[in-house]
């Protein structure tokens, strides 16, 4: 304990990541110390947002997870360096917003390039809307290396979650578009200059309408992604229509209720973990402290 305080006073303020590296402690033990010692000051930046997870009762949890928030979105210090804590927290926040901005711009450039390379690009621009969701939409993107699920290759942090909603787009054109996005996905993944992951789905607006019934896990995830999504490219009219459909179906109200439940789950998890003695089982860790794959599926 004294060594941690001395480290923070002489080298702080520090992110959770740097503090873990310098102390060589496991994340849970260090998180617990930083949340129980009154001499340690923490400032968390960014936005907590709803994530739907089958492993949680009622599906509702907050993102970032407890350990991810501590690791990458928290500045830690002591009363000795209060001003520095505030300054470093602001720098961290602006840095994360800049990462998100660059990822948004990359996604926009990639989508535009794909569309303009198509033989029927003018039809795609009128009959398709490209929406970006996830960390980028919340300006919470990070660059921490993580393995891509299908290949195991390391990618640069948050993926590019892209939903393509079509209206009246012929199947033949949709299939060509799908293949082009898939090829670009592989290119960005394998090119050392990028190492970015695109996670995407293409679906017709009639499927969107069915999913807004919000009557199973898959439709709840789809509705949430469309609700949080930001316009990226294509037809803005389709985008506005989707946002109107979300309101008419009462999706904002339903998601707000889930978010309140997620906050309650987070508070309960924090209380439990602070009192917990011993080593967390994998099952307890998955439900409370972190997710094995901090990733949503697309439907």
Check whether residue 158 and residue 233 sit in a common domain. yes
Average pLDDT over every residue of 161-183:
97
222-226: long-range pairs with CB below 8 Å, 24+: 222/298, 222/299, 223/249, 223/251, 223/254, 223/255, 224/50, 224/52, 224/255, 225/133, 225/134, 225/161, 225/163, 225/296, 225/298, 226/131, 226/133, 226/163, 226/165, 226/251
Residue 77 lies in a domain: yes
* Residue 296 belongs to a domain: no
Given the structure tokens 């492993």, which residue do they identify? 55
Digit-coded pLDDT (tens) for 55-93: 888 899 999 999 999 999 999 999 989 999 999 999 999
Between CA 234 and CA 251 the distance in angstroms is 24
185 and 279, same structural domain? no
- Whether residues 113 and 214 share a domain: the answer is yes
Distance CA 270, CA 276 (A): 10
- For residues 168-185, average pLDDT: 97
> What CA–CA distance (Å, rounded) separates 87 from 176?
49
Residues 51 and 186 in one domain: no
* 182 plus 202 within the same structural domain: yes
Q: What is the pLDDT of residues 127-158, one digit of tens each?
A: 999 999 999 999 999 998 877 766 667 888 89
Domain that holds residue 237: 100-255
pLDDT-derived band at 97, boundaries 50, 70, 90:
very high
Distance CA 111, CA 85 (A): 39
Q: How confident is the model at residue 94 (pLDDT cuts 50, 70, 90)?
A: very high
Pairing state of beta strands 160-166 and 40-44?
A: unpaired
Do 177 and 59 lie in one domain? The reply is no
Whether residues 271 and 206 share a domain: the answer is no
Q: What is the pTM of this model?
A: 0.91
pLDDT tens-digit series, residues 273-282: 898 887 766 6
> For residue 62, is it within any domain?
yes
The CATH number of whichever domain residue 217 belongs to comes to 3.30.460.10
For residue 295, tell me if it sits in a domain.
no
For residue 145, the model assigns a pLDDT of 83
What is the reported pLDDT for 56? 82
Task: Judge if 132 and 65 occupy the same domain.
Answer: no
pLDDT at 181 over 70: yes
- If asked whether residues 36 and 124 sit together in one domain, one would say no
Longest pairwise C-alpha distance within the chain: 67
Kindly state whether residues 82 and 166 are assigned to the same domain.
no
The pairing of strands 160-166 and 198-204 is parallel
The count of structural domains within the chain is 2
């Amino acid at each position: 304990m004294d060594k941690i305080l001395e480290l923070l006073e002489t080298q702080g303020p520090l992110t959770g990541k740097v503090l873990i590296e310098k102390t060589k402690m496991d994340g849970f033990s260090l998180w617990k110390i930083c949340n129980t010692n009154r001499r340690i000051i923490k400032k968390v930046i960014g936005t907590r947002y709803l994530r739907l997870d089958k492993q949680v009762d009622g599906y509702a949890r907050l993102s970032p997870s407890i350990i991810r928030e501590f690791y990458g979105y928290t500045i830690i210090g002591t009363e000795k360096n209060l001003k520095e804590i505030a300054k470093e927290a602001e720098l961290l926040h602006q840095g994360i917003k800049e990462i998100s901005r660059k990822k948004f711009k990359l996604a926009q450039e990639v989508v535009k390039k794909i569309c303009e390379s198509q033989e029927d690009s003018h039809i795609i621009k009128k009959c398709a809307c490209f929406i970006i969701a996830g960390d980028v939409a919340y300006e919470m993107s990070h660059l921490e290396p993580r393995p891509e699920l299908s290949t195991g290759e390391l990618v640069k942090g948050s993926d590019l979650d892209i939903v393509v909603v079509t209206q009246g787009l012929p199947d033949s054109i949709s299939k060509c578009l799908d293949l082009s996005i898939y090829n670009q996905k592989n290119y960005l993944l394998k090119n050392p200059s990028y190492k970015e992951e695109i996670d995407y789905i293409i679906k017709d607006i009639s499927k969107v309408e069915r999913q807004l019934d919000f009557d199973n896990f898959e439709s709840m995830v789809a509705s949430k992604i469309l609700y949080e999504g930001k316009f990226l490219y294509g037809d803005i009219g389709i985008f506005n229509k989707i946002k109107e459909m979300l309101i008419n179906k009462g999706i904002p109200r339903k998601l707000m209720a889930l978010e309140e439940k997620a906050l309650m789950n987070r508070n309960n998890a924090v209380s439990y973990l602070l009192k917990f003695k011993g080593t967390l089982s994998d099952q307890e860790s998955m439900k409370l402290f972190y997710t094995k794959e901090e990733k949503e599926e697309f439907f």
